[in-house]
Structure 1
Amino acid sequence: MNTIALGVTRATYETRVYFRQSDTIFFTFLFPIVMLSIFSVAFSATGNVGTNADGTGGISQAAFYLPGMIAAGILLSGVQNLAVDIAVERGDGTLKRLGGTPLPVLSYFIGKIGQVLLTSMLQIGLLLLIARFAFDVELPTDGDKWVTFAWVYLLGIFTSAVLGIALSRIPRTGKSATAVIIPIVLVLQFISGVYLAFSMLPEWLQNVASVFPLKWMAQGMRSVFLPDSFASQEQGGEWGLTGVAIVLVVWLVVGLIASRLTFRWIRKDS
């Protein structure tokens, strides 16, 4: 069986294992959905976001938070899921055992990234369904918006996946993985326009967030799901999709290099 076929088989196995872990399902798969529901209900009494001076217009709280939750889901599915999962597998000896088999490293990576891709698509699909039918959020009807959604999503999910593989090397033990990775992911969510409007943050914190990919994923998703009038609230006063693409590609390359340099099991192969 060739490397790609082994990777696809491995992705099927990884996906089955993923849905057998209740804590993983909640903190990576259901977490954005739960947070969207909480924010939508908790702030519904404050009225629409971006209303005109006469009180007309604007969008619902659910519509406002939806793009940020999609971006957060991408980060959780890739970075948090893989960083913790691989660190645990390193700690409990799974990687050592796999290193003694003919499974190539590339097939292992394909399996992990395939699992992330499948579960994140299911997550976003469920998130969009809940936003549309539970909170009456109007989804885009413009085909160009969905093209933007597709490339931001794909760049975001692959970038998050390879960064998760690279970050899995940071925890010293599998038991400490959650304590090390979750704070990193949580801080990024708070400074990247997921839970707070990005324009509310001080300029220096906006600059810090702009170094990391989550800010750009959230910005790209806002360009898809929010009215164009909201672009003026972005750091540069526009959606800046060229910048979104450039930053995500740079982080994708960094993640690929870092994951290749830091990933180890018993033997070195590719």
Structure 2
Amino acid sequence: MRALALGVSRTRYEVRGYFRAGDTVFFTFLFPVVMLAIFSTAFSASGSFGTRPDGTEVGAAAFYLPGMIAAGILLSGVQNLAVDIALERGDGTLKRLAGTPLPVTSYFIGKLGQVLVTSLLQVALLVLVARVAFGVPLPTDAGSWLTFAWVYLLGIATSALVGIALSRVPRSGKSATAVIVPITLVLQFVSGVYLPFTQLPDWLQSFASVFPLKWLAQGMRSVFLPETFAAAEAGGSWDLPGVALWLVVWLVAGAVASVLTFRWIRKDA
């Protein structure tokens, strides 16, 4: 209980620090919102991307919203935590924390709490912008929102644990951004966020299908796009069991890697 209480307190500290860092707020919190606005405006003149069962058109904003939500989850978890923890290891923050009574469990509760809070705010902002600024209709059935809930929770947990594991990759805090950002950027372009997934070459589809963002974006499309759009997926369906399976695989892999590799101090630096 003490570790949990310290973790909750640490969450408040982490959230305040997050929103005080201008570059972090822009590149992880506002970036998907900005990209949604850009793509929705740029392709608004391209006409309909499809139609709904009631005959209404699916515009650019509705088409890109699921991918931007998935990208935001990736940025909040993977990019944010990987860079943040690497920087804290590089500037001595983790070394100082190692000399305090703060348990490792509380430290990670704080990080995971920060990711959950900021990601929920980001998703809410994305949906609000899509609905108010671009008139995107939202799901009205409970089943769609239930799917959204489990895909989101599984996705944010997976992204956070993968981010913790990736924080060991940069050799120093100074190189963290240069190492992590290209990874997340490439994944966004090959996972169906900015480009329709089936328009990619077969070998690139196979490559992207190994990583969680492709499945996370596919799960979000099943929530916000009509059922007819499932035919455009690689397997011709939303394949929600596959979404759950691949996210769980990466969740377990990220958890194991985090436990095995995390140290307050990097001894091989």
Q: Which runs of 5+ in 1 are unaligned?
A: none
SS in 1 for 2:20: coil
Give the number of equivalent residue pairs: 264
**In the TM superposition, what are the counterparts of 1:30-179 in structure 2 within 5 Å?**
30-50=30-50, 58-179=57-178
What is the CA–CA distance in structure 2 between the aligned matches of 1:204 and 1:233, rounded to whole Å? 17
What is the CA–CA distance in structure 1 between the aligned matches of 2:188 and 2:126, rounded to whole Å? 17
Once the 2 structures are TM-superposed, how far is the Cα of residue 126 of structure 1 from its aligned partner? 0.6
What is the CA–CA distance in structure 2 between the aligned matches of 1:73 and 1:162, rounded to whole Å? 15
Q: Could you tell me which residue of structure 1 aligns to residue 226 of structure 2? A: 227
Contact 2:15 2:114 in 1 (8 A): yes
Q: Which amino acid aligns with 2:161?
A: V
Contact 1:7 1:107 in 2 (8 A): yes
What is the CA–CA distance in structure 1 between the aligned matches of 2:234 and 2:3, rounded to whole Å? 44
Alignment root-mean-square deviation, CA: 1.3
What is the CA–CA distance in structure 2 between the aligned matches of 1:79 and 1:154, rounded to whole Å? 14
SS in 2 for 1:250: helix
Q: Could you tell me which residue of structure 2 aligns to residue 197 of structure 1? A: 196
Paired-residue identity, %: 73
Q: Which amino acid aligns with 1:4?
A: L
Q: Could you tell me which residue of structure 2 aligns to residue 6 of structure 1? A: 6
Q: Could you tell me which residue of structure 1 aligns to residue 207 of structure 2? A: 208
Q: Which amino acid aligns with 2:144?
A: K
Once the 2 structures are TM-superposed, how far is the Cα of residue 194 of structure 1 from its aligned partner? 0.2
Contact 2:215 2:246 in 1 (8 A): yes
Once the 2 structures are TM-superposed, how far is the Cα of residue 266 of structure 1 from its aligned partner? 4.9
Q: Could you tell me which residue of structure 2 aligns to residue 248 of structure 1? A: 247
TM-score normalised by length of structure 2: 0.96
Contact 1:100 1:266 in 2 (8 A): no
Once the 2 structures are TM-superposed, how far is the Cα of residue 107 of structure 1 from its aligned partner? 0.8
What is the CA–CA distance in structure 1 between the aligned matches of 2:72 and 2:220, rounded to whole Å? 12
Q: Which amino acid aligns with 1:29?
A: F
What is the CA–CA distance in structure 1 between the aligned matches of 2:184 and 2:145, rounded to whole Å? 27
The one-character-per-residue Cα deviations of 1:100-149 (angstroms, maximum 9, x if unpaired) are 01111111111000000000000000110000000000000011000000
Q: Which amino acid aligns with 1:63?
A: A
What is the CA–CA distance in structure 2 between the aligned matches of 1:12 and 1:33, rounded to whole Å? 24
What is the CA–CA distance in structure 2 between the aligned matches of 1:36 and 1:164, rounded to whole Å? 24
- Off by >3 Å, runs of 4+ in structure 1: none
Once the 2 structures are TM-superposed, how far is the Cα of residue 58 of structure 1 from its aligned partner? 3.7
What is the CA–CA distance in structure 2 between the aligned matches of 1:142 and 1:165, rounded to whole Å? 35
Q: Which amino acid aligns with 1:78?
A: G
Q: Which amino acid aligns with 2:4?
A: I
Q: Which amino acid aligns with 1:45?
A: A
SS in 1 for 2:170: coil
What is the CA–CA distance in structure 1 between the aligned matches of 2:265 and 2:132, rounded to whole Å? 50
The one-character-per-residue Cα deviations of 1:172-206 (angstroms, maximum 9, x if unpaired) are 11011000000000000000000001111111111
Once the 2 structures are TM-superposed, how far is the Cα of residue 50 of structure 1 from its aligned partner? 2.3
TM-score normalised by length of structure 1: 0.96
Q: Could you tell me which residue of structure 2 aligns to residue 182 of structure 1? A: 181
Q: Which amino acid aligns with 1:49?
A: F
